[in-house]
């Protein structure tokens, strides 16, 4: 018995929504193919680095693209042809990506981080692709920025691919969170995590403590609190930080805990922290809330933040509901 493929799962979900036309299923099917191509290259690239090669030169004598450029172009080129998109937005591109005239357009917009954490590849640590899908909300065939600048609570779907010891896909369309593992021999993503739920409270905290001196005092107090010893409240927490958002998020989703990227004063150009709302915080917030968790800026629910610009950054506190609510109490000075 092979088990349920992600396509079978998508078709079951499609049948559950009477208004579904199959467009969304076709969209996600194309994205899954792109992820398989990226997964293969991520593994090869790691090998190349270990063997010290200078990287591939292809038959057109083109300089090999860096891995994140490769992932970005793989998704853009394949998704543009899907016929389901009115536009795309990538973490790697400053502006909205239009669908060229030669391809049919659709009613969805895809926002993605093609390869998050790619600095980890040469140390063979997990990295990932994050995606967010909205419905077009403006009239006419052409997309505008307004189609991308939608609140996270309006997402139709969100998910990520994590390229680690195995390649996994985790996604939600608003009725639970499902995980699929790629079986290389088959080339299929098979259902491996049915209806994922994050523990109400964890015992793991994930943050780059090197930024401790740049945080707001209340954030420092919260992290200090997690490190204090107190049997009654099951502290200290364990610190786990990989430095790739998808990997840190995925571990906490399955085991419980809180991931934090607070605003820090280290880089005045990034007063709201490093992570992007549309292609990182909002899709993961949709997933974590569907799994029973919560995601906040420290002051506001991530899914309620009204985006002002494509690459807007937000402080991110995400994971087990009780842990994130406690973070908000400290940050807002209520504790």
How many Å apart are CA 26 and CA 28, to the nearest integer? Answer: 6
Using CB under 6 A, pick the residue from 36, 274, 313, 321 that binds ligand P6P: 274
Cis peptide before 31 (omega within 30 of 0): no
Instruction: Report the candidate in 245, 242, 305 with the shortest Cα–Cα distance to residue 275.
Output: 245
Furthest CA-CA distance within the chain: 65
For the bound state, the minimum distance from the C-beta of residue 117 to ligand P6P, rounded and expressed in Å, comes to 4
Q: Is-contact 292 321, C-beta < 8 A? A: yes
Which residues, 220 to 249, sit near ligand P6P by CB under 6 A? 243-245
- Listed ranges 46-54, 70-78, 116-124, 219-227: which one lies at the site for ligand P6P (CB under 6 A): 116-124
Q: Is-contact 126 115, C-beta < 8 A? A: no
Structure tokens at 286: 């949709």
Q: Is-contact 180 192, C-beta < 8 A? A: yes
- Listed ranges 81-89, 111-119, 168-176, 182-190: which one lies at the site for ligand P6P (CB under 6 A): 111-119
Number of residues that bind ligand P6P (CB under 6 A): 8
Residue with the two structure tokens 């990932």: 128
For the bound state, the minimum distance from the C-beta of residue 277 to ligand P6P, rounded and expressed in Å, comes to 13
Using CB under 6 A, pick the residue from 116, 188, 323, 328 that binds ligand P6P: 116
CB nearer ligand P6P, residue 82 or residue 118: 118
Using CB under 6 A, pick the residue from 144, 208, 218, 312 that binds ligand P6P: 208
For the bound state, the minimum distance from the C-beta of residue 116 to ligand P6P, rounded and expressed in Å, comes to 4
Which residues, 118 to 177, sit near ligand P6P by CB under 6 A? 119
How many Å apart are CA 285 and CA 321, to the nearest integer? Answer: 11
- Listed ranges 54-62, 112-120, 135-143, 321-329: which one lies at the site for ligand P6P (CB under 6 A): 112-120
For the bound state, the minimum distance from the C-beta of residue 114 to ligand P6P, rounded and expressed in Å, comes to 12
> What is the DSSP secondary-structure string of 287-318?
HHHHTT-EEESSSSBGGG----STT-B--EEE
CB atoms within 10 A of CB 255: 16
For the bound state, the minimum distance from the C-beta of residue 234 to ligand P6P, rounded and expressed in Å, comes to 25
CB-side exposure of 285: number of CA atoms within 13 Å?
28
CB nearer ligand P6P, residue 36 or residue 274: 274
CB nearer ligand P6P, residue 119 or residue 238: 119
Write out the residues near ligand P6P by the rule CB under 6 A. Answer: 116-117, 119, 208, 243-245, 274
């Amino acid at each position: 018995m092979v088990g349920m493929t992600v396509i079978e799962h998508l078709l079951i979900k499609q049948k559950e929504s009477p208004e579904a036309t199959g467009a969304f299923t076709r969209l996600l099917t194309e994205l899954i193919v792109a992820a398989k191509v990226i997964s293969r290259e991520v593994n090869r690239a790691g090998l190349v680095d270990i063997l010290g090669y200078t990287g591939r030169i292809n038959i057109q004598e083109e300089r090999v693209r860096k891995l994140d450029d490769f992932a970005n172009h793989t998704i853009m080129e394949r998704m543009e042809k899907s016929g389901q998109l009115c536009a795309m937005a990538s973490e790697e591109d400053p502006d909205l990506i239009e669908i060229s005239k030669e391809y049919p357009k659709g009613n969805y917009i895809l926002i993605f981080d093609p390869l998050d954490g790619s600095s980890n590849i040469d140390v063979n640590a997990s990295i990932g692709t994050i995606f967010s899908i909205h419905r077009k909300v403006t009239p006419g065939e052409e997309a505008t920025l307004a189609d991308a600048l939608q609140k996270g609570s309006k997402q139709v779907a969100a998910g990520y691919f994590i390229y680690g010891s195995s390649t996994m896909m985790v996604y939600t369309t608003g009725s639970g969170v499902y995980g699929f593992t790629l079986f290389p021999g088959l080339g299929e993503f098979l259902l491996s995590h049915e209806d994922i739920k994050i523990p109400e409270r964890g015992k793991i905290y994930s943050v780059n403590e090197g930024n401790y001196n740049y945080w707001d005092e209340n954030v420092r107090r919260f992290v200090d609190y997690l490190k204090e010893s107190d049997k009654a409240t099951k502290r200290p927490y364990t610190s786990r930080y990989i430095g790739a958002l998808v990997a840190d998020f995925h571990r906490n989703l399955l085991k419980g805990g809180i991931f934090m990227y607070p605003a820090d004063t280290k880089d005045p150009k990034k007063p709201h922290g490093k992570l992007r709302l549309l292609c990182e915080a909002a899709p993961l917030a949709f997933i974590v809330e569907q799994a029973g968790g919560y995601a906040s800026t420290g002051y506001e629910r991530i899914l309620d933040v009204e985006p002002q610009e494509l690459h807007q950054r937000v402080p991110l506190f995400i994971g087990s509901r009780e842990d994130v609510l406690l973070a908000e109490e400290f940050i807002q000075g209520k504790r």
